[in-house]
Amino acid sequence: MTDSKYFTTTKKGEIFELKAELNSDKKEKKKEAVKKVIASMTVGKDVSALFPDVVNCMQTDNLELKKLVYLYLMNYAKSQPDMAIMAVNTFVKDCEDPNPLIRALAVRTMGCIRVDKITEYLCEPLRKCLKDEDPYVRKTAAVCVAKLHDINAQLVEDQGFLDTLKDLISDSNPMVVANAVAALSEIAESHPNSNLLDLNPQSINKLLTALNECTEWGQIFILDCLANYTPRDDRESQSICERVTPRLSHANSAVVLSAVKVLMKFMEMLPKDLDYYGTLLKKLAPPLVTLLSAEPELQYVALRNINLIVQKRPEILKHEMKVFFVKYNDPIYVKLEKLDIMIRLASQANIAQVLAELKEYATEVDVDFVRKAVRAIGRCAIKVEQSAERCVSTLLDLIQTKVNYVVQEAIVVIKDIFRKYPNKYESVIATLCENLDSLDEPEARAAMIWIVGEYAERIDNADELLESFLEGFHDESTQVQLQLLTAIVKLFLKKPTETQELVQQVLSLATQDSDNPDLRDRGYIYWRLLSTDPVAAKEVVLAEKPLISEETDLIEPTLLEELICHIGTLASVYHKPPSAFVEGSRGVQHKRLPVRTGSGESAESPDTSSAAGISEAPPAVIPSQGDLLGDLLNLDLTPPTTTGPLPPASGLQMGAMDLLGGGLDSLLGGDMGGSPALGAGFGAPPAVAPASLSAPVGGGLGDLFDLGGGVGLPMGFYIPPKTVWLPAMKAKGLEISGTFGRRAGVIQMEMTLTNKAMSVMTDFAIQFNRNSFGLAPAGPLQVLTPLNPNQTIEVSLPLNTVGPVMKMEPLNNLQVAVKNNIDVFYFSCQYPINMLFVEDGKMERQVFLATWKDIPNENESQFQIKDCHLNSDAASNKLQGSNVFTIAKRTVDSQDMLYQSMKLTNGIWVLAEMRVQAGNPNYTISLKCRAPEVSQCVFQCYEAVLKN
């Protein structure tokens, strides 16, 4: 007789039947009935109607029946909270049971019932169980604290359970320690700054002792917790490494990988010449290799992590190339990862082997994999210079197979090889040209056209080849069209006599018959260039190209460092920092590898290392002008990649027409008037660009400087780092983070919109509620393109202060509504009040004195800023960047008194006296204002500006 019989009853009266059986007098019948109920529950049937009947069965001394009823309760208590109360008494009684198994079971189950009313009754039994004499009960209770925290965080804090939990880290039983660590880690995730796991050498020692004795899962929790610790010096680091190393031999791969994480991180602190460092490196390889013989899912996660490890420390696995060779029945996700790692490990020593393998893969069945293998050959050529020739000949062999997708992929990579080794392998061009007709993918066609254009002078029939592409110009994809345009212009510059007609044809196709702005703009630029100054055109179009290198596909070093700290986590699988994808990431701290500090200098080291542990979110980067110009030039240089729009040709004047040479006139024919959009001459944009790309503003106030002591330039306007205003989980996948700034007298609301949902977002709009200073958007929210899933855009919204006014609490609170095609979302944020300080906020000395006296003393408020290590001049400079002007400075008894003024957009003046004592990091600030409400906000902004 099996349980499957429980699935078969689907008759109408099923619930009634069960009800009758549950209320039966016979124990056995009751149990059978509960089993049936559980079985229905598992398959998703709604049996919640039976709640009272099932709960009635709870008062039993039969352990199995009790467990079954508990199972049921956990599932349905949420939907029947009032009924669930009936169970409370039994729970409380069970928590006092002499049998520790029952005590633990009761407290465990109670924690799973997510009903507020029940939670209240849970506190007392839980407190007792946390101090129970039996470790089994204690360890269960530790987990229960985490459950309770998930339901009601405030309650847990108020009841002091967190402290009890911290005490459990020093428990004598290793399992209790492990569970306490696990519970604290989970709680800490929702309280990133709470410092719950306050690690010090003593607690580390406790953890390391428990590590040896607890279960495999406990070891994972402890190792992950250890990884967050920053040792004081290399000696401590080494001793931790020594005690963690045995975990590499654990049968559980998660333990192994967590141990690898700890070692990779702490190794950073060891001096490279230490013998132990070398030993450790050697010890890391075998366990990583062993991970690859596990189940494919484990292999995949291991491979993603190994990918990071070989980028950070290639020496660990440099001799293990063979284990990454692909087997034909590996799942595709394993194959692709292995391939990637093979390239990363490729070196002169093993390149022959790697190439032989790659060639083998190129004849496999799976098309995606074959393509990737062909591409890999190209990457090898670029990475290992000595192998380039071999790679090229391998690629030629593959082209001979005439398998369509192999040929196309090979041509794409050969183009990259040409970019790396110009003028070296042209002999193969003839072979490539033979395959021209079989190319049907845009990327391959574009690559081939690029090659023809680049080497036009060596290909006799280059013009014919390109002309053949031109016939179907409008059917081509943009990528091919752009490439064709450039290639023909190159050809024209190299062989001007025979190809004039061709170039005219392509220019007119690109500029007149195309709707694509990229194509048109590029066409016009060439056209102007060719017609005004062919020599300049040659210099621009045929300029020497920067060589490409293999670094392009490496992970950027700071990100890599962060990811190394996250080995074994989801971040390491996605190769993205957790802040990029973990929901509600407001609190995710960026992790960094520790800085190496020798034991000799340990006196200062805690400070430096703890500072290194916390890194700030990088401020929004404004592209320097060089980059943009570079982009503009790159239109020619990087073949297919640039499809981004050109920056608006701001230098365009209608008068530019005059500059058109005669050659262009003839090309344009009578159509002159039809192209007013013609861009400015190529020479113009560089001259114009710096002006149009206003660099961060704030420096323009330098002339206001008239104080004797001031040295150096005033700092820029202080813009706080972006914070998450609207987490994705509250806005159906839209995440908004932002900050406020002031640029050239205009208040800017700078936002980063991220689409974390699965669908495209469009139609963005923004509105503010009435607020204290009448802030309102000065224009609509400029989100022109739809926001694709996982895409992020930066938006800067200018604000004015002419909106409706209503006093908010706190004063600088701003309530915002953002709409998109999905819904309307509301959030509130607080702006730093210094963005309201206007540029003409400098008072005359005399006026200042008079005003200061005039404002009654009760309007004065005094604040202290602690731990500010600037001298008074630097402070005054910093503040001036934020439109806080120092009017006078007086020095009395080595104490600097700075008198400052600022004016808000609504005309309120704020006067300040700042006292700075040399050598004392604490400043005293007195603020006087006719509207004393603003003082608090002003003080906050002082603090923010001075400390950043």
Partner 1 sequence: MIHSLFLINHSGDIFLEKHWKSVVSRSVCDYFFEARENAGSPENVPPVLQTPHHYLISIYRDRLFFLSAVQTEVPPLFVIEFLHRVAEMFQDYFGECSEVVIKDNVVIVYELLEEMLDNGFPLATESNVLKEMIRPPTILRSVVNTLTGGSYIGETLPMGQLSTIPWRRSGVKYTNNEAYFDVIEEIDAILDKSGTTVFAEIQGVIEACIKLSGMPDLTLSFMNPRLLDDVSFHPCVRFKRWESERVLSFIPPDGNFTLMTYHVSTQNLVAIPVYVKQSIGFFESGSCGRLDLTVGPKQTMGKTVEGMMITIHMPTAVLSANLTATQGSHTYNPITKVLVWDVGKLNPQKLPNLRGSLSLQSGAPKPEENPSLNINLKIQQLAISGIKVNRLDMYGEKYKPFKGVKYVTKAGRFQVRT
Stretch that binds partner 1, among 331-339, 474-482, 869-877, 906-914 (CB under 8 A): 331-339
Among 265, 312, 756, 878, binds partner 1 (CB under 8 A): 756
Whole-angstrom distance, CA of residue 288 vs CA of residue 305: 10
Whole-angstrom distance, CA of residue 293 vs CA of residue 310: 18
Number of Cβ atoms within 10 Å of the Cβ of 423: 9
Whole-angstrom distance, CA of residue 739 vs CA of residue 831: 7
Whole-angstrom distance, CA of residue 62 vs CA of residue 31: 10
Q: Write a three-state SS string for 75-118.
A: HHCCCCHHHHHHHHHHHHHHCCCCCHHHHHHHHHHHHHCCCHHH
Among 33, 88, 118, 146, binds partner 1 (CB under 8 A): 146
Q: Is 912 in the site for partner 1 (CB under 8 A)?
A: no
Beta strands across the sheet bearing 746-755:
723-726, 734-743, 746-755, 792-800, 776-777
Sign of CA dihedral 630, 633, 637, 639: positive
Q: Is 582 in the site for partner 1 (CB under 8 A)?
A: yes
Among 119, 159, 179, 834, binds partner 1 (CB under 8 A): 179
Among 99, 279, 558, 666, binds partner 1 (CB under 8 A): 99
Whole-angstrom distance, CA of residue 456 vs CA of residue 463: 8
Stretch that binds partner 1, among 385-393, 468-476, 625-633, 756-764 (CB under 8 A): 756-764
Whole-angstrom distance, CA of residue 114 vs CA of residue 147: 9
Q: Is 917 in the site for partner 1 (CB under 8 A)?
A: no
Stretch that binds partner 1, among 51-59, 157-165, 175-183, 596-604 (CB under 8 A): 175-183
Among 728, 865, 914, 945, binds partner 1 (CB under 8 A): 728
CA dihedral 310, 314, 320, 323 (to 10 degrees): 20
Stretch that binds partner 1, among 252-260, 528-536, 886-894, 897-905 (CB under 8 A): 252-260
Whole-angstrom distance, CA of residue 421 vs CA of residue 42: 64
Among 124, 213, 434, 627, binds partner 1 (CB under 8 A): 213
Q: Is 150 in the site for partner 1 (CB under 8 A)?
A: yes
For partner 1, which is the closer residue by CB, 586 or 853? Answer: 586
Burial 293-316 (b: 16+ CB within 10 A, else e): eeeeeebbbbbbbbbbbbbbbeeb
Per-residue x/- mask for partner 1, residues 373 to 402, rule CB under 8 A? ----------------------------x-
Residue 725 tokens read as: 């205003």
Residue 779 tokens read as: 């224009």
Among 328, 557, 780, 922, binds partner 1 (CB under 8 A): 328
Q: Give 111: exposed, middle or buried? Use CB within 10 Å, 0-12, 13-18, 19+.
A: buried
For partner 1, which is the closer residue by CB, 289 or 746? Answer: 289
Whole-angstrom distance, CA of residue 835 vs CA of residue 841: 12
Q: Is 14 in the site for partner 1 (CB under 8 A)?
A: no
Q: Is 131 in the site for partner 1 (CB under 8 A)?
A: no
Give the DSSP letter of residue 839: T
Q: Is 224 in the site for partner 1 (CB under 8 A)?
A: yes
Q: Is 106 in the site for partner 1 (CB under 8 A)?
A: no
What residues numbered 856-885 form the site for partner 1, per CB under 8 A? Answer: none
Q: Is 608 in the site for partner 1 (CB under 8 A)?
A: no
Tell me the residue type at 572.
Answer: S
| CB contact at 8 A, 382 and 417 | yes
Whole-angstrom distance, CA of residue 479 vs CA of residue 214: 59
Stretch that binds partner 1, among 360-368, 597-605, 678-686, 690-698 (CB under 8 A): 360-368
Q: Is 114 in the site for partner 1 (CB under 8 A)?
A: yes
Among 282, 322, 458, 474, binds partner 1 (CB under 8 A): 322
Residue 215 tokens read as: 């279960």
Question: DSSP characters for 700-752?
Answer: GGGGG---TT--SPPPPPP-PPPEEEE-GGGTTTEEEEEEEEEETTEEEEEEE
Q: Is 581 in the site for partner 1 (CB under 8 A)?
A: yes
Stretch that binds partner 1, among 27-35, 450-458, 671-679, 890-898 (CB under 8 A): 27-35
Stretch that binds partner 1, among 385-393, 581-589, 613-621, 902-910 (CB under 8 A): 581-589
Least CB distance to partner 1 at residue 84 (A): 15
Q: Is 111 in the site for partner 1 (CB under 8 A)?
A: yes
Distances in Å between the Cα of 67 and the Cα atoms of 35, 59, 109, 181, 254 are 11, 11, 9, 27, 31
Q: Is 635 in the site for partner 1 (CB under 8 A)?
A: no
Give the DSSP letter of residue 763: -
| CB contact at 8 A, 814 and 831 | yes
Q: Is 89 in the site for partner 1 (CB under 8 A)?
A: no
How many CA atoms lie within 13 Å of 919's alpha carbon, on the beta-carbon side?
Answer: 2
For partner 1, which is the closer residue by CB, 320 or 943? Answer: 320
Among 250, 538, 819, 947, binds partner 1 (CB under 8 A): 250
Among 453, 685, 733, 881, binds partner 1 (CB under 8 A): 733
Distances in Å between the Cα of 13 and the Cα atoms of 324, 622, 761 are 60, 70, 48
For partner 1, which is the closer residue by CB, 61 or 515? Answer: 61
Among 281, 757, 778, 870, binds partner 1 (CB under 8 A): 757
Among 84, 165, 220, 540, binds partner 1 (CB under 8 A): 220
What residues numbered 288-307 form the site for partner 1, per CB under 8 A? Answer: 289-290, 293, 295-298, 300-302
What residues numbered 50-69 form the site for partner 1, per CB under 8 A? Answer: 62-65, 67-68
Q: Can you tell me whether residue 796 is helix, strand or coil?
A: strand
For partner 1, which is the closer residue by CB, 219 or 479? Answer: 219
Among 125, 231, 378, 578, binds partner 1 (CB under 8 A): 578
Among 42, 468, 599, 643, binds partner 1 (CB under 8 A): 42
Residue 122 tokens read as: 């849970």
What residues numbered 260-289 form the site for partner 1, per CB under 8 A? Answer: 286-287, 289
CA angle 941, 947, 948 (to 5 degrees): 95
Least CB distance to partner 1 at residue 3 (A): 5
Among 57, 77, 204, 403, binds partner 1 (CB under 8 A): 403
Q: Is 357 in the site for partner 1 (CB under 8 A)?
A: yes
Among 378, 568, 685, 698, binds partner 1 (CB under 8 A): 568
For partner 1, which is the closer residue by CB, 357 or 636? Answer: 357
Q: Is 591 in the site for partner 1 (CB under 8 A)?
A: no
Beta strands across the sheet bearing 860-865:
860-865, 923-929, 909-917, 895-903, 885-892
Among 52, 331, 648, 721, binds partner 1 (CB under 8 A): 331
Stretch that binds partner 1, among 182-190, 200-208, 793-801, 921-929 (CB under 8 A): 182-190
Least CB distance to partner 1 at residue 473 (A): 32
Residue 131 tokens read as: 């101090």
Number of residues that bind partner 1 (CB under 8 A): 110
Residue 14 tokens read as: 């099923």
Among 71, 226, 399, 540, binds partner 1 (CB under 8 A): 71
Q: Can you tell me whether residue 473 is helix, strand or coil?
A: helix
Q: Is 730 in the site for partner 1 (CB under 8 A)?
A: no
Per-residue x/- mask for partner 1, residues 524 to 563, rule CB under 8 A? ----------------------------------------
Q: Is 571 in the site for partner 1 (CB under 8 A)?
A: yes
Which residues share a beta bridge with 776?
800
